[in-house]
Structure 1
Amino acid sequence: MARPRLIAHAFGVVTGIAVLLGAVLVSPASACTCLPGNEADRYNRATHVFAGTVLAEEVEDNNTPDTYDDRNRYRIQVGLQYKGSVPPMVDALSTTVITACGVKLSVGVEYVVFAFGDSSDARVDITSCGGTRPASVGPPMTSGGSSTPTTPCATQAA
């Protein structure tokens, strides 16, 4: 009598483990991993750093079932430029998926934007790893960074 009960219990444990493993292994990889460091490090890694006010937000839907390729486009009126060169009006692009390093900005709010890429087409990329934050905190920290990181940030647009 005890043997069938033991077998049933073992079967239940194995089934439970299989279900949990299946859920973990089938889940899409969406974790955002950022390089270590402080704001001065993020400033040094950024192509452009500027203050600007978000005027509009629009989703660029790539017309595929996969939402991971959709991007938020934030129209920003540029104020002070701390690093690099961007036009007076620029579109900052970020994935719509926050867990994949997407950034959520609010219309009407001024930000210090840490951006990447060529701005000649008035478009730059931003990620949650970049350091973009409300401008009310103050200007960006430009010194006091740690040593140059030795590992690449796979999720940061270059």
Structure 2
Amino acid sequence: MKEEGKGSKAPLAEAFGRWSNLKIVLIALLCAVAGQAVVWYTGQFYALFFLEKTLKIDGYTANLLITISLAIGTPFFIFFGWLSDKIGRKPIIMAGCLLASITYFPLFKAMTEAGNPALYQAQQTAPVTVVAAPANARSSSIPWARTSSTANPVTL
């Protein structure tokens, strides 16, 4: 670009000062990158929190499991980085987000079964039932709200 004389004298103003450019930046930031961030933080940090706080696995073991997972995953980061250079970033990112959305619930269920079998068994034999009043139900904090005598149970 320098050789052709097409360099910008105000790159930030051009990138963010024009709505057409800013719109592309915002779409990339709020859509594509948000999904990637959710996948990363769920796979790394929430998994560690889940192991320690929900499954009651000691901190050393939980950290060791996450470390081993990252060590196993590192070659895949390198491979898919190389593949994204060949076929493009978007297909790789979208495939990763799709794969995460399909596998995270079964993986966390498997972690529960392996990490705390008693908790898994309790979840299977005594599911939690949440009973919530309809939206028009009367609340003690809202005296003018209408009341309803029906509630729909939801089993989790």
Higher strand share goes to which structure? Answer: 1
Rg comparison, structure with higher value: 2
RCO higher in 1 or 2 (8 Å CA, sep ≥ 6)?
1
TM normalised by structure 1 equals 0.23
Higher helix share goes to which structure? Answer: 2
